[in-house]
Amino acid sequence: MCGRFSRSSPADVILEELGVMSSAAVDLRPRYNVCPGDDVAAVVQRPEGRRLGTLRWGLAPRGQINLRSETLTRNAPWREALQRRRCLIVADGFYEWSTEQAARVPHFFRLKSHRPFAFAGIWARGPEAQVGAAILTCPPNEVVAAVHDRMPVVLDAEQRAAWLEESDPVRLAKLLRPCDPNAIEGYPVSTLVNSARNDTAACVRPAGGTLRLVAPPA
């Protein structure tokens, strides 16, 4: 499960990395602790190219923030969204929690390049015209598996194009897999991220001030 993430890259870097051609009024000030129910920056495909806009994180009516990619097509609304309403949710890191001696310890994962990236997402309109989105999840790669048994689907540049433009459900399903473990790194952070009131760079700093990278299981 992905219950928190960051999006702190400069606006021009985000637009360049994700190939955005047009944009609505989107607040791209740095966010270090994006929480369920918050507005998120998302990219959709339009005839004129990729457009950046804002979606609410959570699908009505139950506020689902994550959907398991393996079971997505079993639910008719989500199956339709997979066919017609796919999006890229902009991020540059995400948090997962491990349990250590009965305590939940947050860890922050990011690309080794520190570049922004995109989660695979779907969007849908709620009963009151609220447009929400959910992040798709998959089994973890070797790095995240040291902390948690799920991870968000992180798409590289080639996969992003296919996710927005592809129509074949079999090809789309092949995109919903763990990202390259050699491309990411993770480390423990403080419990500041546990509170939605905390949204500063301190959330992503290494716990204890020392960078201790997550070691994949032997």
Give dist(CA 78, CA 85) in Å, integer.
9
Over 70: is that where the pLDDT of 218 sits?
no
Confidence check: pLDDT of 39 > 70: yes
Query: Cβ(121)–Cβ(2) under 8 Å?
Result: no
In this prediction, residue 129 carries a pLDDT of 67
Q: Alpha helices, DSSP H only, in 85-198?
A: 157-165, 169-175
% of the chain residues with pLDDT over 90: 79
Chain center to CA of 205: 19
The catalytic residues are 2, 96
Is the confidence at residue 126, as pLDDT, over 80? no
pLDDT at 169: 87
Contact predicate 14/28, CB 8 Å: yes
Instruction: Supply the pTM of this predicted model.
Output: 0.94
pLDDT per position as a tens digit, 149-164:
999 999 999 999 999 9
pLDDT surpasses 70 at 213: yes
Higher pLDDT, 24 or 73: 24
Q: Are 55 and 40 in contact (CB under 8 A)?
A: yes
Domain spans in the chain, listed from the N-terminal domain onward:
5-93+115-183
Per residue in 192-207, pLDDT (tens digit) is 999 999 999 999 999 9
Q: Are strands 31-34 and 5-7 parallel, antiparallel or unpaired?
A: antiparallel
Residues 60 and 132: beta-carbon distance below 8 Å: yes
| Architecture of the 5-93+115-183 domain | Alpha-Beta Complex (3.90)
